[in-house]
Structure 1
């Protein structure tokens, strides 16, 4: 459930007792109402991306998701300022689900190596303190910190190793071009179509208002069931799920699809009275591009085990491609586990997706009691 108050420690000085910096350096929390602060964080994040993968994609909205007052029930931030008041490092934590805390770690590329390492050490110390705080509030003996790096970012990888993190997974960040002419008709209508006993449709909305709550629960239930045996799966409540996805700058209700069985329903697949059983779901978002057409992105796609092998995943992917073509978008992106046991990476490659860059997941389990 979404807490009424943050589970994090809001004062960084309660965690960081001694600072290893030159005189005049300090730690602080960012003021999201100050345009200069947001602009500097945006600059640091984009420089981090350019160094790690060769180009920057972060928008101002991506920064505001982390630091704005709206998100601070489930997020907390810290910054390091030099003796001239310039922000040189930024850490962000996200209370994602019980037992799983996401962590972002950004240090200026303009600092000398010794100063950059000191900033890194302070951010890690703060993140571990936050892990203990949120874990204690959730009543856990141990709290996982889940963070990431670009595969080719040697500085970040070495810092993570020295801080006691272990690399646990590799992810392919894939993209697929969209043929705006031919692929508009890839499916009869991306809003709703049917094939081989499976109906693919947008979640119901009346008069452009919020979606039908039953459909939203169906999407959540399908994804929870589809990923229960997947790597690092943590149960996420319906309220946490909706709150988090609606924070995404690219969130659009008209990018949420369900796949329902309307014929040949196998044993063990049930549905609420008056509804067809939902067996697949896809949540898409918009990736805005200031220098060209926007792209679509597959944030989540899942199929329940009992319905696999019936073309549900392929049908959902064809739907989001046709929708992108209809909207004039020239590509569709997604992320896949490089060691996926479901064969998802083979399906994506077969349907035209290619890897643009690679990221890695790093974990550290922090005992809640000191």
Structure 2
């Protein structure tokens, strides 16, 4: 179980640093910082400005739930909180340069204080439940999180697979299956329902309302042509039934990304997920991507890791999920 943080963290600003909230116009500078950190921690820095903008838009309160730390004019650390459910599960993103660890720790303390305020403003909801994903060698993971009560609770792998138009042609779809691109608000809602159904019970997944999901997905700015729904003829009724979904995005510099891939229980093992993936491979290759990436829980009960490696995916890097419970701040 994660440790419950009962101590108020130190929040004094290290000498020489300034801190402020992020605004949308900061996206290019944040993107540069993220890629500089990722290049050291993962060997690749492909984050795009559009991804940062989407991250900033999906906060509940950007002015209070994001932080930038500057050493003079140099951006050295960035942190942000996102609501991950209708309750008090909060996802955290945090990047800090290796020579600026005090700034990173300061932002970590600030976001814990803010999480306690959020918990206090939600009567009866209990502790804020923070989740933060970092590579095992991250300076925060090594030097800051354990001392502040964070617990490493899960490991994920980020996998990539090369794609090309010469190798990845659109798959042949059986006569009783249809693969369609999401093109309407009705299909967007179907994609939501399929994600909610197929990921229920997976580690870290939190059920959300449709409105919450749209905000988290940055739906109004999303390229929905990279989301596909699979349908299959039901043997009993002869009607097409929606059984699978793949949600992708194309903001990375060279890599297409599979954000969600799920099939309903009755359709698992029937090739639906493979058809959806091979459809995505072909489209990403046509759009000039050199690879497709995704994240997979190493303890997934459906043997997802074996499934993906069987389709040519290889490990790029590991990421650990750290968790901390933060009690509500005392009322004044």
- State the distance in 2 between where 1:221 and 1:162 align: 40
- State the distance in 1 between where 2:236 and 2:213 align: 28
Q: Is the 8 A contact 2:153 2:323 kept in 1?
A: yes
Q: Is the 8 A contact 2:47 2:252 kept in 1?
A: no
1:35-50 aligned at under 5 Å gives the runs 38-50=27-39
Q: Deviations over 1:301-351 (max 9, x none)?
A: 011112222221112112212222333433221111112110111111111
Q: Is the 8 A contact 1:91 1:104 kept in 2?
A: yes
1:243 paired residue among 215, 227, 230: 215
Q: Is the 8 A contact 1:16 1:122 kept in 2?
A: no
Q: 2:203: which partner in 1?
A: 231
Structure 2 CA distance for partners of 1:261 and 1:55, relative to 1, 3 Å: closer
TM score, norm. by length of structure 2? 0.85
Q: 2:235: which partner in 1?
A: 264
Structure 2 CA distance for partners of 1:348 and 1:62, relative to 1, 3 Å: same
Q: 1:340: which partner in 2?
A: 300
Q: Deviations over 1:231-259 (max 9, x none)?
A: 1221111112122223698x411111111
Uncovered stretches (5+) of structure 1, i.e. residues with no partner: 1-14, 189-193, 206-210, 267-273
Q: 1:362: which partner in 2?
A: 322
Structure 2 CA distance for partners of 1:162 and 1:216, relative to 1, 3 Å: same
Q: Deviations over 1:274-297 (max 9, x none)?
A: 9732111111111442xxxx4321
- State the distance in 2 between where 1:284 and 1:18 align: 39
Q: Is the 8 A contact 1:124 1:163 kept in 2?
A: no
Q: Is the 8 A contact 2:161 2:314 kept in 1?
A: yes
Report the 3-state secondary structure (helix = DSSP H, G, I; strand = E; otherwise coil) of the residue aligned with 1:329: coil
Q: 1:191: which partner in 2?
A: none
Q: 2:76: which partner in 1?
A: 88
In the alignment, is residue 125 of structure 1 matched against residue 109 of structure 2?
yes
Structure 2 CA distance for partners of 1:91 and 1:201, relative to 1, 3 Å: same
Q: 2:5: which partner in 1?
A: none
Q: Is the 8 A contact 1:180 1:329 kept in 2?
A: no
Q: 2:159: which partner in 1?
A: 174
Residue 226 of structure 1 deviates from its aligned partner by: 0.9
Q: 1:323: which partner in 2?
A: 283
Uncovered stretches (5+) of structure 2, i.e. residues with no partner: 1-7
1:187 paired residue among 171, 191, 202: 171
Structure 2 CA distance for partners of 1:26 and 1:49, relative to 1, 3 Å: same
Residue 54 of structure 1 deviates from its aligned partner by: 2.1
Structure 2 CA distance for partners of 1:279 and 1:157, relative to 1, 3 Å: farther
Q: Which moved more, 1:328-337 or 1:54-63?
A: 54-63
Greater C-alpha Rg:
1
Q: Is the 8 A contact 2:84 2:206 kept in 1?
A: no
1:101 paired residue among 83, 90, 107: 90
TM score, norm. by length of structure 1? 0.77
- State the distance in 2 between where 1:354 and 1:226 align: 24
- State the distance in 1 between where 2:210 and 2:11 align: 40
Q: 1:19: which partner in 2?
A: 12
